[in-house]
Structure 1
């Protein structure tokens, strides 16, 4: 029975335990545990299954780029192991399965890494100094996004957020505020959605894993598990601006009725996105391969303007607590609200997430299945 693990360590052990079963079908299977620089006891774990005859297809599934989101990702990965992996042809299909891209974040129930960097704003090959010119609205909104006092008066902070939100909505409008908050920023290391001053070790690790893992395959599909964005009752397949196929075609191919492109009209703009970087990698180093990658976003709060404001509120308050400290009462409330944003406690939400995952895997695995 598929369950959500209670900790990063439990999740890692469960993932590693599938090695023997995979090896029985893919003899050329290996587990690579890549230790984190800041804490070698925490690892990103990579299972690679090489096909025995020809590298026709590669299925990539990744979890935990935003640490806390890895708990639902772990359950989806377990569902794949339990119900779908046996339907693949080990002669022609390879697997690249990655547990906890951001192990520190998952272990500590945080979204960012230990340096407060959002790894999905950090995949960038060029000079990070150039990124300082992006996100022009963030400096003006910094007092709103980054309160400088400890989070002691929780009730006052909630009321103050409402007032500041109304004022900023009047000046900037909700769309510009959303873009400024979510795009990624490269100047304020204590701020929200900080993309870093340079590439993080976790990012370098994943770049190497993808370069090595994609080599030789004719058809590559990557599904990256996330939570937070979108309607509460429907998984959204979020595609890269580099993906040229229309939404209707992708919905049919990947078994989800809701497809959104990562742009301001359908999702939001991102700098340093992992999947965008993969598309560039594939075009540059694997031009003969057919390539597709997308984020599977399992919505939590919902996608109304009110729910988006609630999400931004807890993002700001959580960062304020991390950077400035706060009272035990505030810390407990923020911890619970933050977990609800990325891992709702309602059992019906989890069951719907599994149902959406099954629908997706039924379609995707059909493209890869034994004929």
Structure 2
């Protein structure tokens, strides 16, 4: 197959591209406009492979998308290109509307017109896989809000959970999800949607919690915790996610949605303390890294808990995460400690760990 991946130079996108090139015989066309979070250095291991192709294209540019589709003739579309940082969406929501909504619409229209030109066998084979987030669902009841004997029965997000996005980012992704489903229902475009929990792992841009804490810790900076740090997330190792995405696009059913999670609910404060504990062992200093923890004002509309029910993808596609949070977190920290050049490159002139998302 020839798979067109949008946003393939980003964190999850690059993991997906590396997985496809390294573990399958498929070709990949990486379409990315290389914003601050896109980095071709994340694809250095596959960049010279003859089955890998790169196109410097903005998904809002219809003429360029038409050219890419005509030239490469993809069998599958895996759409990951998106603005994805909640704090940035609070400070500047317009970029999220443009990329996540208008960009998805433009890609859908390009794909639809291309799909309609294909012979019947190719039409039946074609898939448009839209990769989204669990943040479209809003938040869930928190263990602190229920009796101890009820914690085990707290709900998780399923494929039937109603949408209730809290941030401009989440609302823009919810909008794109609805567009994809509408193009399937109205035009018959063979689409699939997947919604994932928080990803972590190598090559993660350091505005997100885990890489930011790792880099701040080793640089002797404060480790900022929003509010009390009691927000709970389900953490998914990015390489597990890449395996799941390939399963969905190759084995998933048209018109269906698949939730992808890591089976790892953790409070933010516990994540930070775990990072500090591993760093204390791997890169010891006179005092514990935990002494760098500071508490800062919470961001507006901060969801308290996310958790994914993966029953459907487990039963129907036989996928399970391979990494526990302990094994995945240690691998992640070890990667950042041995890839300081990459870290310095992505931070150079782009992001220095400053606080974002204070504007309500």
Q: Same fold (TM over 0.5)?
A: no
Length-normalised TM-score, structure 2: 0.31
Length-normalised TM-score, structure 1: 0.30
